[in-house]
Amino acid sequence: MDKRIIYKNIDGSIGIIIPANCGLTVEQIARKDVPTGLKYKIVDVSEIPSDREFRNAWTIDDSELTDGVGE
C-alpha cells in the first residue's frame, strides 16, 4: 500500500503505520492498530519526510489528525 497512517502518542512521539496486504482496508487498519483514543491521519507515503536524521524529533499538529480515532 502507498498509504501511511500517522498518529501522535501521549508522550508526543509520532507513530507511522505501514499497512500490510491483509484483506483489511487502510481505514479498518487505522481504527484497529492506532492506539485506542488517539487521533490519526491517513496520508500518501510521499508526504512523509524521507530524511530521517532527526526521526525521533518529528512532530505533528493535533489539528492535522482529522481522519478518525483509534478504537
Partner 1 sequence: MTSILKVDQLQDSGGNAIITSDGAGNITTPGITTYTNSDALTLFNASGSAPVYACRAWVNWDGASGAGTTIRGSGNVSSITYNGTGDYTVNFTTAMPDANYATSAFASQESSADNNVTCVGQKGVISSNYTVSSCRLQMRRLDGVTLDINLVTAIFVR
48 versus 66: smaller Cβ distance to partner 1: 48
State which residue, 16 or 64, has the beta carbon closest to partner 1: 16
Give the three-state DSSP class for 48.
coil
Would you tell me which residues interact with partner 1 (CB under 8 A)? 4-5, 13, 15-24, 29, 32-33, 45, 48-50, 52, 55-56
Backbone dihedral angles phi then psi of residue 12, each to the nearest 5 degrees:
90, -10
Of 20 and 66, nearer to partner 1 (C-beta) is: 20
β-bridge mates for residue 37, sequence order: none
Q: What is the CB-side half-sphere exposure of residue 19 using CA atoms within 13 A?
A: 22
